[in-house]
């Protein structure tokens, strides 16, 4: 089973992401839809494969880890397209790299990490959408001049879906 250990976004940023996601969906076919309530915006700390029997143990370890990583203020760069994904990346990746390294160490015998790892130099981000036709978004994405800052308030363990989405149950 694939899980996504992720930072939940505060209400202001979540609403901003949902609005941008909706605008992307109005312009082209978007395979990530936050409006339907099946998945939610987030910043992935660690994603990987686990044995289902270890889910409770992993959840407890993450719960104990939470107090170290929350209440961080995060600033974002402007949205852009890469490999058909629309992203906003965080400005300061150092905090996330340390958290990812510690989480990997904590779960080393319980998870097979996905190739996407902050520890491997991937930049923490919010995924705004996944589209097959990207050129139609250029003007819209360039028109976005403001991305709100976020305060990270919750760290969750969730099932991971298509394109790394966090599945809401």
Q: What is the CATH number of the domain that holds 100?
A: 3.90.1140.10
**How would residue 168 be classed by pLDDT, with cut points 50, 70 and 90?**
confident
CA–CA separation, 28 and 41 (whole Å): 19
pLDDT of residue 41: 94
Q: How many domains does the chain have?
A: 1
CA-closest candidate to residue 30, choices 131, 166, 134: 131
Domain span including residue 139: 2-167
Is the overall model pTM greater than 0.85, yes or no?
yes
CA–CA separation, 96 and 20 (whole Å): 24
Burial class (CB in 10 A: 0-12, 13-18, 19+), 52: exposed
**How would residue 69 be classed by pLDDT, with cut points 50, 70 and 90?**
low
56 pLDDT above the threshold of 80? yes
């Amino acid at each position: 089973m694939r899980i996504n250990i992720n930072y939940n976004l505060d209400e202001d940023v979540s609403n901003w992401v949902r609005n941008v996601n909706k605008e992307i969906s109005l312009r082209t076919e978007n395979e990530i839809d936050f409006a339907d309530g099946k998945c939610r915006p987030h910043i992935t700390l660690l994603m990987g494969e686990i044995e289902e029997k270890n889910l409770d143990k992993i959840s407890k370890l993450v719960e104990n880890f939470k107090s170290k990583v929350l209440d961080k203020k995060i600033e974002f760069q402007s949205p852009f397209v890469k490999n058909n994904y629309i992203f906003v990346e965080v400005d300061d990746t150092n905090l996330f790299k340390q958290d990812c390294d510690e989480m990997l160490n904590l779960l080393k015998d319980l998870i097979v990490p996905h190739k996407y790892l902050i520890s491997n130099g991937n930049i923490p981000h919010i995924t705004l959408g996944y589209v097959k036709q990207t050129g139609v978004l250029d003007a819209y994405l360039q028109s976005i001049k403001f991305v709100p800052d976020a305060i990270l308030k919750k760290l969750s363990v969730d099932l991971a879906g298509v394109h790394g989405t966090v599945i809401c149950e």
